[in-house]
């Protein structure tokens, strides 16, 4: 494949020869530089220069200040001067390097006083600031905290502070506090890139006690909470801990708690979302090679038209964006820049200069400002490429972005492709990665999770009508919804790599929902009109102040729902459960089927008689050993209605529309096989918001312990979306789909994983599994059957793990709705994977049952399990594992 010139670092111009510029740098003082300069080839046009600080574009200067002192040069105009004030963020007491370059990136060397030609200017400036910061302490084996430099005059609070770390009073390293801390930003109204975490170096892990101190530099201000003393295991103790970890893996009945404690005692080397900047630096060089392995070689190079509307951009950010396009490793592109009537001479000159630099760049100027949609449509009409890529005028693509997208297109035949993205600030630091799921239509209704980078067939976009100017601000969401009306799901492909950096500014939607409130309102209307075109009746409204929506389907059809509730004793609890159903269920025809699995005592008999005499209620006596799957299958055989609602007896409904909402989701999507609800512990935190496959073993719940009203990662906990599985603690299933796949597996999965297995069987035959946050119930775990992991039950649990491993081994590590960049070892939506082993899955690395000597080792294959039948008084973070139990 032909290549364009080698890629350059983000935000830096491709290298060019030094430009023959005439000028003089005559003042360097008080954080300002001044001088004059002009291009001898075109002296009538004010020269535009990039101001480069530490190798990145800090600003763009226009040499248009009047300088009467140069009149002797007989120039067309004496407006050739420039003045530049060093930004406050570089007045931090540290050394920086300033240089000048042309719009094309070619260095400009100006002479200064004393006859010295300065290719670059080194400076170190300070301002009146104070340091504010806290060492939070030891969190997950890491020393963590935050620090800000506060300008005494403007009260600006900026991150990126350098910290010196000392041990026993001796310096050991310097780190930069630039990790994302949204909690600090929200509380103090400051730069969120102010956090830090520190891992103790290996050389210091051998002592008994280490005293760590943290000072902000160069002020050498000690952080509040410092110093901190850490007890570090000796080499012998580390070996003993490792041996104990291995041993506890062989003894599942107490392994979970002990293993977490021991692992916490060892320094952590993993990456989490808080370490994203460091993770991104290590991951970026692997993207192209990893994509080549996944997608293969390009057999052809169709042209890609990059559509970029331009309206009064910050020139430094705009030039960085243009550099990122010019640096693409994929050569067959054209860049169409549409100036949407900026009416700015500097911008016009810059656009003209860019067109001269590369014949692949074309500039179109609009006489009247029409908005982003109209300007993009103008570019679309001029596009000559087979595919179009949508690009904002201040964002950045990584150098291999287009190449990776086109490799993916060639391998999959997709007509619409999208990648992962993150956000980039004025310093070039990346944060807030959006690791997206594979195509998720239900999620797209509630949130434009796709955003950037989008590449689509040009005829497809034109056939859809391009962008609609009525939805400026949410025009991309509207377009994506309209494109889905012309596409099958398998024609949309997700490239699970960060290929796009979304510029984080106060004016952009990347800055948050409050940055462009009109965008949220436009998106609301776009979703409503899309559903109207699909002839789906629904009410659409915003969720709080966020740019996401609640789509409430409405339907007058009432086919009927059979509610199945297994129980054993715990009569008071079960009575409360059914009374809540009768009190809070309206607008749906339903029956209650109580499945009595060997309850005993006078109270149990009275309850069964009482309930059996109520209308639309059945009580089935099932006098046999507990088998959740068999019990529910028996209940389904007795059910009257075409929809089944599996419900734990320790789950309590509170909203009158709960069942209608679940049913309407199923009626709106004939392909939905099962719909799960959001379950909260009694203390209001999340117990279930969807199931993620392959994490910690077979599966784990997403967002366990999160505040019940918190949005979660990229609003996943508060939006309806397709998931790989949901818990059967509260799950609506189509009866015909349930029977088609054979119902719950009573032969091999009597207790654990039967709901995950059912969902995977439904997905295998083409049904979707949905999660809705709009049905919220209270789940009191572990009140019916107690601990599911007693010693006598380990053999059964081992076998059920093996069943899942043999049956779904290739599927479990590849949850399509849980991005491959997240680790599978734990930390759902928190821990990041660095390198994905080739040709190896999680299950291939695990021992088989016949390789395990002790029966207690059953847990090795499933430390994290589905707990749809689990009931508990409150969430437990470090107690016994919340395994799958029949909560009766």
Q: Say how far apart CA 759 and CA 699 lie, in whole Å.
A: 12
Query: Which residues partner with 777 through β-bridges?
Result: 653, 679
**What's the pLDDT at 191?**
85
Helices 315-326 and 345-357: crossing angle, nearest 10°? 10
Q: Say how far apart CA 745 and CA 754 lie, in whole Å.
A: 6
3-state secondary structure of 150: strand
Report how far apart, in Å, the C-alpha atoms of 769 and of each of 325, 530, 866 are. Answer: 39, 22, 16
**What's the pLDDT at 727?**
97
| Angle of CA points 644, 650, 656, to nearest 5° | 60
Six-digit token string for 366: 């609009």
Q: Say how far apart CA 25 and CA 83 lie, in whole Å.
A: 10
3-state secondary structure of 136: strand
What is the phi-psi region of residue 352: left when phi exceeds 0, alpha when psi lies from -120 to 50, beta otherwise? alpha
**What's the pLDDT at 864?**
33
Q: Do the beta carbons of residue 213 and residue 169 sit within 8 Å?
A: yes
Look at strands 387-390 and 304-310 and give their pairing. parallel
Q: Say how far apart CA 199 and CA 434 lie, in whole Å.
A: 25
Instruction: List, in order, residues 6 or more apart from 128 with CB less than 8 Å away.
Output: 151, 152, 153
Instruction: Give per-10-residue mean pLDDT for the chain (888 aa).
Output: 40 56 87 92 93 92 94 93 89 85 91 78 82 86 89 85 88 87 87 88 72 89 91 75 68 55 60 89 91 92 97 94 97 98 94 95 96 97 98 97 97 97 91 96 97 97 96 95 96 98 71 59 94 96 88 96 96 97 97 94 91 94 90 97 98 96 98 98 94 88 92 95 97 98 94 94 97 96 48 63 86 91 86 58 32 31 36 31 32
* H or E, element range at 108: strand 107-108
3-state secondary structure of 773: strand
DSSP classification of residue 649 = T
DSSP classification of residue 583 = H
Report how far apart, in Å, the C-alpha atoms of 286 and of each of 289, 400, 412, 483, 505 are. Answer: 6, 11, 21, 32, 28
Instruction: List, in order, residues 6 or more apart from 717 with CB less than 8 Å away.
Output: 678, 686, 689, 702, 703, 706, 710, 711, 773
Q: Say how far apart CA 409 and CA 394 lie, in whole Å.
A: 26
**What's the pLDDT at 264?**
60
**What's the pLDDT at 220?**
87
Q: Do the beta carbons of residue 36 and residue 82 sit within 8 Å?
A: yes
Six-digit token string for 121: 């200017």
**What's the pLDDT at 266?**
53
**What's the pLDDT at 834?**
67
What is the phi-psi region of residue 855: left when phi exceeds 0, alpha when psi lies from -120 to 50, beta otherwise? alpha
- Over residues 34-76, the pLDDT tens digits come to 999 999 999 999 999 999 999 999 999 999 999 999 999 999 9
């Amino acid at each position: 494949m032909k290549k364009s010139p080698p890629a350059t670092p983000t935000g830096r111009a491709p290298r060019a020869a030094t430009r023959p510029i005439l000028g003089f740098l005559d003042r360097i003082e008080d954080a300002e530089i001044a001088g004059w300069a002009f291009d001898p080839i075109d002296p009538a046009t004010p020269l535009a220069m990039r101001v480069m600080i530490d190798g990145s574009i800090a600003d763009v200067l226009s040499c248009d200040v009047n300088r009467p002192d140069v009149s002797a040069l007989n120039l067309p105009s004496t407006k050739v001067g420039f003045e530049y004030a060093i930004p406050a963020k570089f007045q931090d007491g540290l050394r920086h390097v300033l240089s000048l370059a042309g719009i094309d990136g070619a260095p400009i060397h100006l002479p200064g006083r004393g006859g010295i030609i300065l290719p670059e200017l080194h400076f170190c400036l300070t301002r009146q600031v104070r340091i504010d910061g806290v060492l939070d302490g030891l969190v997950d084996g890491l020393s963590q905290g935050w620090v800000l430099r506060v300008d005494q005059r403007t009260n600006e609070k900026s991150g990126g502070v350098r910290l010196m770390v000392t041990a026993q009073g001796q310096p050991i390293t310097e780190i930069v506090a630039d990790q994302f801390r949204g909690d600090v930003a929200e509380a103090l109204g400051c730069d969120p890139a102010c956090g830090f975490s520190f891992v103790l170096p290996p050389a210091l892990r051998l002592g008994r006690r280490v005293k760590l101190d943290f000072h902000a530099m160069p002020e050498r201000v000690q952080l509040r909470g410092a110093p901190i003393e850490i007890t570090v295991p000796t080499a012998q103790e580390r070996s003993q801990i490792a041996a104990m970890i291995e041993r506890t893996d062989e003894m599942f009945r107490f392994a979970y708690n002990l293993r977490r404690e021991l692992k916490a005692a060892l320094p952590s080397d993993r990456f989490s979302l808080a370490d994203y900047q460091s993770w991104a630096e290590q991951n970026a060089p692997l993207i192209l090679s990893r994509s080549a392995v996944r997608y293969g070689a390009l057999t052809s190079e169709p042209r890609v038209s990059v559509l970029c509307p331009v309206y009064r951009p910050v020139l430094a950010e705009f030039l960085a964006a243009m550099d990122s396009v010019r640096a693409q490793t994929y050569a067959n592109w054209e860049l169409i820049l549409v100036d949407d009537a900026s009416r700015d001479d500097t911008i016009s000159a810059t656009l003209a200069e860019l067109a001269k630099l590369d014949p692949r760049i074309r500039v179109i100027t609009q006489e009247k400002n029409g908005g982003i949609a109209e300007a993009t449509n103008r570019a679309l009409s001029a596009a000559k490429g087979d595919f179009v890529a949508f690009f904002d005028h201040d964002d950045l693509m990584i150098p291999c972005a287009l190449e990776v997208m086109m490799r993916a297109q060639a391998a999959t035949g997709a007509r619409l492709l999208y990648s992962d993205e993150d956000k980039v600030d004025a310093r070039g630091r990346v944060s807030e990665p959006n690791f997206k799921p594979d195509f998720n239509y239900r999620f797209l209704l509630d949130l434009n999770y796709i955003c950037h980078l989008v590449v689509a067939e040009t005829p497809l976009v034109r056939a859809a009508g391009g962008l609609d100017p009525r939805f400026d601000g949410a025009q991309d969401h509207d377009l994506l919804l309209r494109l889905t009306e012309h596409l099958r799901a398998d024609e949309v492909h997700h490239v699970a790599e960060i290929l796009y950096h979304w510029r984080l500014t106060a004016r952009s939607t990347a800055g948050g929902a409050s940055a462009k409130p009109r965008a949220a309102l436009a998106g609301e209307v776009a979703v409503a009109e899309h559903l109207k075109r699909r002839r789906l009746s629904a009410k659409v409204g915003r969720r709080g102040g966020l740019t996401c929506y609640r789509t409430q389907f409405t339907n007058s059809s009432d086919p009927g729902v059979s509610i199945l509730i297994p129980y054993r004793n715990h009569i008071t609890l079960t009575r409360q459960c059914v009374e809540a159903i009768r009190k809070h269920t309206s607008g749906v025809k339903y029956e209650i089927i109580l499945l009595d699995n060997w309850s005993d005592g006078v109270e149990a008999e009275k309850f069964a008689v009482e309930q059996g005499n109520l209308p639309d209620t059945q009580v089935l006596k099932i006098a046999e050993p507990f088998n959740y799957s068999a019990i529910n299958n028996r209940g389904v055989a007795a059910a009257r209605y075409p929809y089944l609602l599996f419900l734990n007896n320790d789950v309590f409904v509170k909203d009158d529309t709960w069942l209608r909402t679940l049913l309407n989701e199923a009626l709106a999507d004939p392909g939905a096989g099962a719909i799960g609800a959001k379950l909260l512990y009694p203390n209001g935190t999340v117990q279930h918001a969807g199931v993620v496959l392959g994490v910690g073993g077979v599966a784990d719940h997403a967002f366990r312990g999160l505040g019940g009203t918190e949005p979660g990662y990229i609003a996943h906990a508060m939006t309806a979306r397709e998931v790989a599985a949901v818990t059967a603690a509260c799950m609506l299933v189509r009866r015909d789909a349930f029977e088609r796949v054979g119902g719950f597996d009573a032969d091999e999965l009597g207790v654990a994983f039967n709901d995950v297995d059912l969902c995977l069987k439904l997905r295998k035959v083409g049904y979707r599994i949905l999660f809705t946050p709009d049905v919220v119930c209270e789940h009191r775990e572990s009140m019916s059957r107690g601990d599911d992991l007693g010693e006598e039950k380990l053999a059964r649990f081992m076998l059920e793990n093996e069943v899942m491993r043999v049956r779904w081994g290739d599927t479990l590590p590849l949850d399509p709705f849980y991005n491959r960049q997240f680790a599978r070892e734990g930390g759902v939506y928190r821990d990041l994977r660095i390198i994905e082993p080739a040709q190896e899955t999680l299950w291939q690395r695990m021992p088989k049952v016949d390789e395990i000597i002790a029966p207690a080792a059953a847990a090795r294959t499933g430390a994290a399990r589905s707990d749809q039948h689990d009931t508990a008084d409150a969430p437990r973070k470090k107690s016994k594992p919340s395994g799958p139990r029949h909560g009766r």
